[in-house]
Amino acid sequence: MTLFVDADACPVTHIATDEARRAGIPAVWVCDWAHEMRDDYARVITVSQGADSADLKIANMLARGDILVTQDYALAALALGKGALAIDQNGREYTNDNIDGLLMMRHENAKTRRNGGRTKGPKKREAQADEDFRRALQGLIGEKRA
């Protein structure tokens, strides 16, 4: 089991890595070269800047039993298809039961924006979201180890 983090603009990268370290599992951050990242525990992979370059690298590295932290629904869907678990920055687990609806919502929001409409952006992140994420990730790691 490896913990992968889609590290471009991820607010919980260090929390995820702390939990990987605590559990004794490898952590890998993938980001594009526009984001300079370093960590003393996680392996940091920097890819070229471009549409979905970090996502494609992660998708190619993921294996059954891995855990992925991402805000990207399409990447989460790819992870599920490979038998990996996926979770967002707020602790919501992506599952086969919710991924289709999330992808459809993303599609509808993109259509609205293309037609000149506006969609709601994310609300301001609060400290409770970090704790919710930490608890959910601990649960996933424990589930995979059991």
Residue 118: is its pLDDT beyond 70?
A: yes
Does residue 27 contact residue 17 with C-beta atoms inside 8 Å?
A: yes
Whole-angstrom Cα distance, residue 129 to residue 133?
6
- Helices marked H in 24-126 — which ranges? 53-61, 73-81, 99-114
How many residues are given for the chain? 146
pTM value? 0.86
Segment 107-111 mean pLDDT: 71
Q: Where along the chain do its domains lie?
A: 3-95+126-145
What CA–CA distances, in Å, run from 72 to 19, 50, 94?
A: 21, 15, 10
pLDDT tens column, 37-92: 888 999 999 998 877 889 999 999 999 999 999 999 999 999 999 999 999 999 99
Which CATH fold would you assign to the domain 3-95+126-145? Rossmann fold (3.40.50)
The average pLDDT across 112-125 equals 78
